[in-house]
Structure 1
């Protein structure tokens, strides 16, 4: 018996009846021989961590665009925080921690430069050219299926791919969002909840650090129910979710906790996400990405040669723009549109 087979047997003995066993995976898009050491979901996790798209997350905006300071979150640190929270919950509920971690590490691979600002611009551009729109969740799936590994994709398992695709929640009341199970596996549902726990708490923490929000501005219900510190609020959410979800086929918060989480979300949208100071760069982001898109529409020969063999030039350019880091997009815009002084030697 191989090490992988021993790990698979241990899953059968140890994990919850609601967990997804790696040996029961629906498989990959293309056949591969099994690894003798790692389970299928462990291989997926490793492939995501070693991907170029994962490394680029370190220079992509979470909320604050190119913040001056070492302690503000980026899309990469957000991903790591989601992964840590999700693994804690999955372990406590005896779910498949490897599957949970793989989904968490891959869930935001398709995020654009400049965070949701960039996503909104690419969505607008896509619709103006008759496409259905742009979603970072769908782009994340496109990256692991078609764009990574020189166009070969990562050939991940079905469960990881669907978890990545189904993680997004949009801007809606969390009491409705979490009212029913959405994802195909409970591990994917854990990531979906953990994404919320992570971003609400670390965005509030960053906003306080930046002086955009003062601690005394936080709603009383949030402080009284969830806690008065960053640590307390995360712990309250995780503990409550675990306590209410043991031996169930879905995840559940107490209604009081969920009400406080929704109040926290509504507060952050009002004070942070649509704050004129934070969003002051929106018009510049739109100008930059729209300018680059139009430039490559007129000059497709200027596109890098290592892009996908996508026939639709609009999607090809969109893939290129979506994959950029913040700083690369800014540097490219400057190279294309900003005149440089003539140097005499």
Structure 2
């Protein structure tokens, strides 16, 4: 929950135009606190809410046991989710980049394949096993990665930032997502008929900007594209 259409590209686009900014972590918490159950929210415990808010991260220290930032989850369960999120997105993004043709298999430095394996399942197994064994070895109430695995994961994530996330191909996709998000957002702010037709009645506890943000943030990629076509493209084009 909380993730926008077009992933992190959509998140960046909303963050740049919505007053107060946008973060999918905070949006996830907003959904369970204020938007779920027709605006009544869900009565979750502090531990669950803390885990939702702090479940993921960007660049920075990967080994959560070494990072004493207040941004870390306050429970072991939350820390497990956070490290699982890191392991999952690094592996899936690497696979997605190869499938999309942004990377070739031989573009992946041999250091990573030697340490982690050559397949998705081998990499997942190596990372999860490292967390389990290192945490058991440390014998403290925390979640650990070994120093070697921390170094490899940090380098692999930096490799993905340099070669994938900030590549011209991905940037081109970001520009397209940015255009769709921005134009829908400002159109819904300006067009009362469209606003009430698509969003309907809303509570009085949010600004119109935040209501439109909530609406767009809850869309799937497909719905955002279909809505954009319906709002902005002439109807004869849509029948082609």
Q: Hey, what does 2:115 align to over in structure 1?
A: 225
Change (3 A) 1:308 1:220: farther
Distance 1:269 1:295, change over 3 A: same
When normalised by structure 1's length, the TM-score is: 0.63
- Kept after mapping to 1: 8 A contact 2:180/2:228: yes
Give the alignment partner of residue 244 of structure 1, picking from 134, 137, 142.
134
Residue 30 of structure 2 corresponds to residue 142 of structure 1: yes
Equivalent in 231, 236, 240 of residue 341 of structure 1: 236
- For the Cα contact (< 8 Å) 2:61–2:67, is it kept in 1? no
CA apart distance, 1:162: 0.9
How big is the shift at 1:279? 2.7
So what's the TM-score if we normalise by structure 2? 0.89
Distance 2:66 2:201 in 1: 44
The within-5 A match list for 1:1-345 is 109-126=1-18, 131-174=19-62, 179-181=66-68, 182-246=72-136, 247-303=139-195, 304-341=199-236
Is the 2:55–2:78 contact (alpha carbons within 8 Å) kept by the matching residues of 1?
Answer: yes
Q: Give, in angstroms, the shift of residue 148 of structure 1.
A: 1.5
Offset at residue 138 of structure 1 (A) = 0.2
Residue 338 of structure 1 deviates from its aligned partner by 0.9
- The CA deviation at 1:339 is 1.1
CA deviation profile, 1:260-317 (whole Å, cap 9, x unmatched): 1111101111121112113312222112111111111112443212544433111111
Give the equivalent residue in structure 2 for 1:82: none
Which consecutive residues of structure 1, in runs of 5 or more, have no partner in the other structure?
Answer: 1-108
**1:119 offset after TM fit, Å?**
0.3
Moved beyond 6 Å, runs of 4+: none
Give deviations 1:228-279, integer Å, cap 9, x for gaps.
Answer: 2222211111111111112422111111111111111011111211121133
For structure 1, which segment, 182-191 or 268-277, has the greater mean C-alpha deviation from structure 2 after superposition?
268-277
Partner Cα separation in structure 1 for residue 73 and residue 185 of structure 2: 34
Question: Is the CA contact (8 Å cut-off) linking 1:219 and 1:267 kept in structure 2?
Answer: no
CA contact 1:307–1:320 (8 Å) conserved in 2? no
**Which has the larger share of helix?**
2
How many residues matched?
229
Alignment RMSD, CA only? Answer: 1.8
Measure, in 1, the Cα distance between the counterparts of 2:192 and 2:60.
38
Distance 2:159 2:34 in 1: 38
Q: The residue matched to 1:167 in structure 2 has which SS?
A: coil
> 1:173 deviation in Å?
4.6
CA 1:219–1:307: 2 relative to 1, 3 Å: farther
Instruction: Note the alpha carbon deviations across 1:134-154, whole angstroms, 9 max, x for none.
Output: 100000000011112211222
Contact 1:150 1:306 in 2 (8 A): no
Greater relative contact order, per chain length (Cα 8 Å cut-off, separation 6+): 2
1:169-189, CA deviations, whole angstroms, 9 ceiling, x for partnerless residues?
1233535x6522521100000
